[in-house]
C-alpha cells in the first residue's frame, strides 16, 4: 500500500479517538446540567467513535501496516447553552466526512480498490452521522425551547442504546 494512504489511515485512528474524546466532553457538559439523556446520547456516540478508531486499526493490522498511536488532543470547546454542543457536533461530523473523503480520494488516485471498499462503510456512516446531528439541531429548535419540551427530548435520548458497528473486519 502507498505510504501516503497508510499515513492517512494511521492519522484517522487518532481523529476517531479525538471524536470520542470530544463527545465524552459533551456528555460531561450535559451531565453537569443534569440532562442525563443528552449525556447518555453522547456517551454512546463516544463508544461508536472508539469503534471507528478500532476498525481503522484493524484494517491496518490486516494489511500488515504498522500502527503508531499518537497523543489525543484535548477537547477545548466550551459550551454555554444545551444547543451549542449539537451545533459543534454537526460541524465536527462534516469535518470527519471531509477526512474520509480525502482518504477515499487518495485511494482512488492510487487504484487502491481494497481501501476504497473498506471506506465505503464509513462514507455511508458519515451520511448517517450528519443526518442524526442535523436532526438533533432541528428537533431542539422545534421542541427544546421550553422546559417541558426539553424534558421530553432528554427522556428520548436517555433511551439510546449502544449497538456494535455493522462492519466486521
Ligand atoms: Mg467516526
Confidence class for position 65, pLDDT limits 50, 70, 90: very high
Instruction: Look up residue 63 and give its DSSP letter.
Output: T
What does the pLDDT read at residue 28? Answer: 98
- Check if the beta carbon of residue 107 is closer than 8 Å to that of residue 4: no
What does the pLDDT read at residue 1? Answer: 84
Q: Provide mean pLDDT across the span 145-153.
A: 96
Dist. CA 2 → ligand 1 center (Å): 23
* pLDDT exceeds 90 at position 7: yes
Rounded alpha-carbon distances, angstroms, from residue 147 to 93, 142, 151: 28, 12, 6
Q: Provide mean pLDDT across the span 23-46.
A: 98
* pLDDT exceeds 90 at position 156: yes
The domains of the chain, with CATH numbers, are 3-69+77-158 (1.20.1260.10)
Query: What is the average pLDDT value for the chain, to the nearest integer?
Result: 97
- Mark the residues whose beta carbon lies below 5 A from ion ligand 1: 16, 49, 52
Q: Provide mean pLDDT across the span 106-120.
A: 98
Dist. CA 83 → ligand 1 center (Å): 21
Dist. CA 55 → ligand 1 center (Å): 10
* pLDDT exceeds 90 at position 163: yes
- Check if the beta carbon of residue 165 is closer than 8 Å to that of residue 51: yes
Measured in residues, the chain has a length of 169
> By percentage, how much of the chain surpasses pLDDT 70?
100
- Check if the beta carbon of residue 137 is closer than 8 Å to that of residue 86: yes
pTM attached to this predicted model: 0.97
Max Cα distance, the chain (Å): 55
* pLDDT exceeds 90 at position 107: yes
Dist. CA 96 → ligand 1 center (Å): 7
Dist. CA 40 → ligand 1 center (Å): 17
> By percentage, how much of the chain surpasses pLDDT 90?
99
What does the pLDDT read at residue 88? Answer: 98
Task: Locate 94 and state its grid cell.
Answer: 462534516
Amino acid at each position: 500500500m502507498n505510504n501516503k494512504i497508510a499515513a492517512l489511515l494511521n492519522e484517522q485512528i487518532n481523529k476517531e479517538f479525538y471524536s470520542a474524546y470530544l463527545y465524552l466532553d459533551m456528555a460531561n457538559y450535559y451531565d453537569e446540567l443534569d440532562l442525563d439523556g443528552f449525556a447518555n446520547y453522547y456517551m454512546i456516540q463516544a463508544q461508536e467513535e472508539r469503534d471507528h478508531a478500532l476498525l481503522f486499526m484493524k484494517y491496518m493490522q490486516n494489511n500488515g501496516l504498522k500502527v503508531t498511536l499518537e497523543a489525543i488532543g484535548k477537547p477545548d470547546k466550551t459550551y454555554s447553552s444545551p444547543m451549542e454542543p449539537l451545533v459543534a457536533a454537526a460541524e465536527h461530523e462534516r469535518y470527519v466526512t471531509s477526512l474520509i473523503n480525502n482518504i477515499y480520494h487518495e485511494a482512488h488516485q492510487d487504484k487502491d480498490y481494497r481501501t476504497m471498499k473498506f471506506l465505503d462503510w464509513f462514507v455511508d456512516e458519515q451520511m448517517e452521522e450528519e443526518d442524526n446531528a442535523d436532526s438533533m439541531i432541528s428537533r431542539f429548535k422545534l421542541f427544546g425551547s421550553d422546559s417541558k419540551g426539553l424534558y421530553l427530548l432528554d427522556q428520548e435520548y436517555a433511551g439510546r442504546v449502544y449497538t456494535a458497528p455493522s462492519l466486521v473486519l
